[in-house]
Amino acid sequence: MHSRIRTFGEYRAAYKRSVEEPEAFWAELARRFSWKKPWDTTLEWNFAEPSIQWFRGGVLNISENCLDRHLQERGDKVALIWEPNDPTEASQKITYRQLHERVCRMANVLHNNGVGKGDRVCIYLPMIPELPVALLACARVGAIHSVVFAGFSSRAIADRIQDAACKLVITADGMCRGAKRIPVKEVVDEALQECPTVKRVLVAKRLHLDVAMKPGRDAFLDSELRKAAQKFEAEPMDSEDPLFILYTSGSTGKPKGVVHSSGGYMVYADYTFRNVFQYEEDDVYWCTADIGWITGHSYIVYGPLLAGATSVLFEGIPTWPDGGRFWEVVDKHRVSLFYTAPTAIRALMAAGPEDVERYKLSSLRVLGTVGEPINEEAWEWYHHYVGKGRCPIVDTWWQTETGGILISPLAGITPLKAGFATLPLPGVQPVLLDAEGTELAGRGVEGNLCIKFPWPGMLRTTWGDHERCRQTYFAPYPGYYFTGDGARRDEEGHYRIIGRVDDVINVSGHRFGTAEIENAINEHEYIAESAVVGYPHPIKGQGIWAYVICTPRAPGEEQLQAEVDELVSKLIGRIAKPDVVQVVPGLPKTRSGKIMRRILRKIAAGETDNFGDTSTLLDPEIVDTIKEGALVKL
C-alpha cells in the first residue's frame, strides 16, 4: 500500500480500502513509525460512551518520532526556519540535530523542575523557537501540554490553568506583534494569583525586559537550559496516553479542554500533512497560523516534523511593516507549500494587488486555507495573485476536535472547486443528517455534518469532564460524531461547508461561544442582559454584534462600547471584542424566555424583513425597535 497517494485512482482505491478495512489501512500507516512496543489491537470503539482506542497496547514517544527517527537520514536538514517579527532581525535555521538537542535540554529542565509523565504544563509563549521546543519537550517527558494562545487575557489563562491543574508554566518576558510590544510576563503573573497548583514558571527572554521574578517560583529559561544535560531518554507512552489539551469554545459555558492521544494523533497528523500538501523532501513549508491553535499544533509542529519537513515559524503579522510581508518571506525562504487563513487573504486583498505584485513567488507549488469558509472572490484572488494560476488550493476543513484535516482536496490530485472543501480524506466517513437524525442519501443535499466512523486523530475526551464530551459531540445524533457544522453535498459529491449550526461564532478563523462573550459583557455593572450574534464581516468572515439591555445609570452608547471592549479584552482577550454594541430596550424572547437569536442574526446581517414566525414572541414590537436602532450602525 502507498502511504502517499499520487493519482486520483489511488485516492479512490485508498478511500475504498479505508472504509472496507479500516484497521488494516491504518495499521499499515502506523508501521512507518518507531514503536517501543507494537500495539495489540488497532481499533476499539464505541461512540455511545464514547470510548475510542487506536493502537491499544502500543508504546511510543511522539518526540522521538519527530526528531530521533530523522537523525540518521536528515540530521543536518533544517527542521525549523524562524522568521522574526521585524524583517531587519536575522532569521534562524535549526536543523533536526540541533532541534533534538534543544528539546532534550528542555526536557531535562522540565524533569529537573519536577515535571513527569501525566503532569500538565501550560505554555503561554509568542511564536519563538522555544514554543515548538516546549511542546516537544513536554511530549518527551510524557507531560501533557496545554498551549494557551498568547492573545488571551490573564483571566482566560487562569481558567485554563485551573481546569487542567497545571504544575508549571512556560512563558516569555514579552512579545512583539507588528509595531506593538506586549508585556507577557505581567499577564501571566496576574493569572497566577488565582492558580495555586503552579509551582514553577520558566521565562524565555524575547525582549530582554526587566521583569519581576517571584523568588522560589520563577526562573529564566536560558539559565536553566545551561545547567541541563544534552540527552534525555524519551518517556515510553501508551498509544492512548494524552499528548495535549487544547481549549476551544462551544455553544455553552466555559471553553472545554479537548484531549488528544499520542499514537493515533501522530499517525493522523503525519498522513494528512504528507497527502493533502503532497509534501516532497525538498519542500519548504509554511503555515502562518499560531501554535496557540490546533492548526499550529498539527501543521506547524507535529505533522511537518513527523514527515521530516522544513517548517517555517513566523513571529509576525501579515500587514506589518506592510502588506507584502508574507510574500517577502515566501521569496526569502523559497517557500513551496503555503498554508494560511481566508481572513488573512481577505485583509491582503483589500489592500490592493501592489504588495503581492512586488514579489516573484516562483517557489510556490501548493496553497492551502483553513479555519473558515473561503468566499469565491478570495479564492480567485489567492489563486491568481499568489498562486499565479498554477498552484492548486487545498481548502482544508477540520476542527480542534478532529486533530487533523478531514475534508480537503489532495493538492494536484483530486479536483478543485472554489468554496468547496471537496472530498473526505481516506479514513473519513462524513454523513449529512436532517434535524431528526436521518442520513440524507445521495447528492444535492444539505444537513448537519457528522462523521460515522472513528479516525485516529479524533478527540478522546474533554479534560476532567467526559460527560461533557459525550453530550456535546456524541449525544446529539446517537452513533455519530457531530461536528457542529452544516454542509452541502453537491451533484458531484463534493462537500461545501456552510458554517456553524450552533451558537459558535467564527471570527477571523477563531471560535467563540456566544454565551462566553455574553457572560463577559454581563459583568458590566450597568448591563442587565445581553445577546451576542455573528454577522457577515468583509474581512473577519464573521463579526460580533452585541445587543445589550442597560440599567438606568449606564453611560452613553459610545462610552459603553469602550467599556465593553475593555471588559471583554480583560475577561477573554482582545480578539473577542464585539464589533458593534447596540443598546436595546428589550430582546425578542419567546413566552418561555428563550431569546430568538435567528431574528437578531437577521437584523445584524442587515435584513429588514423575512423574520419568519414571530407570533410566539412575548413582545413582537421589540423587533421593529431593534431593527431601527441597528440601521444606524450598519
Binding stretches for ligand PRX (CB under 6 A): 248, 294-295, 370-373, 395-400, 421, 483-485, 497, 499-500, 506, 511
Least distance CB 414 / ligand PRX (angstroms): 15
What is the rounded distance in angstroms from the CA atom of residue 425 to the CA atom of residue 406? 6
- Beta strand spans in 262-403 (E): 284-287, 310-314, 337-340, 366-370, 393-396
Q: Judging by DSSP bridges, how do beta strands 527-537 and 541-550 pair with one another?
A: antiparallel
Cis peptide before 126 (omega within 30 of 0): no
Residue closer to ligand PRX (CB basis): 239 or 483: 483
What is the rounded distance in angstroms from the CA atom of residue 596 to the CA atom of residue 619? 12
Residue closer to ligand PRX (CB basis): 140 or 274: 274
Least distance CB 244 / ligand PRX (angstroms): 14
Residue closer to ligand PRX (CB basis): 213 or 445: 445
What is the rounded distance in angstroms from the CA atom of residue 154 to the CA atom of residue 161? 10
- Beta strand spans in 173-294 (E): 175-177, 180-182, 200-204, 218-220, 237-238, 242-248, 256-261, 284-287
Residue closer to ligand PRX (CB basis): 205 or 537: 537
Residue closer to ligand PRX (CB basis): 240 or 372: 372
Query: 613: which residues sit within 8 A by CB, 6+ positions away?
Result: none
Residue closer to ligand PRX (CB basis): 150 or 219: 150
Which secondary structure element, helix H or strand E, spans residue 330, and what is its range?
Answer: helix 325-333
Least distance CB 409 / ligand PRX (angstroms): 11
Cell of residue 226, nine digits: 545551561
Cell of residue 385, nine digits: 495573485
Query: Can you name the residues that pair with 59 across neighbouring β-strands?
Result: 37, 238
Least distance CB 294 / ligand PRX (angstroms): 5
Residue closer to ligand PRX (CB basis): 308 or 373: 373
Q: In 157-180, which positions are buried (b, 16+ CB within 10 angstroms) versus exposed (e)? A: bbbbbebbebbbbbbbbbbbbeee
Residue closer to ligand PRX (CB basis): 323 or 573: 573
What is the rounded distance in angstroms from the CA atom of residue 528 to the CA atom of residue 380? 45
Least distance CB 247 / ligand PRX (angstroms): 10
Least distance CB 487 / ligand PRX (angstroms): 9
Least distance CB 503 / ligand PRX (angstroms): 12
Cβ atoms of 238 and 59 closer than 8 Å: yes
Least distance CB 354 / ligand PRX (angstroms): 28
Least distance CB 295 / ligand PRX (angstroms): 5
What is the rounded distance in angstroms from the CA atom of residue 169 to the CA atom of residue 190? 13
Chain residue at closest Cβ approach to ligand PRX: 400
Query: 493: which residues sit within 8 A by CB, 6+ positions away?
Result: 423, 443
Query: Can you name the residues that pair with 82 across neighbouring β-strands?
Result: 92, 313
Residue closer to ligand PRX (CB basis): 242 or 588: 242
Least distance CB 182 / ligand PRX (angstroms): 22
Residue closer to ligand PRX (CB basis): 138 or 407: 407
- H/E/C letters for each residue in 534-574? EEEECCCEEEEEEEEEECCCCCCHHHHHHHHHHHHHHHCEH
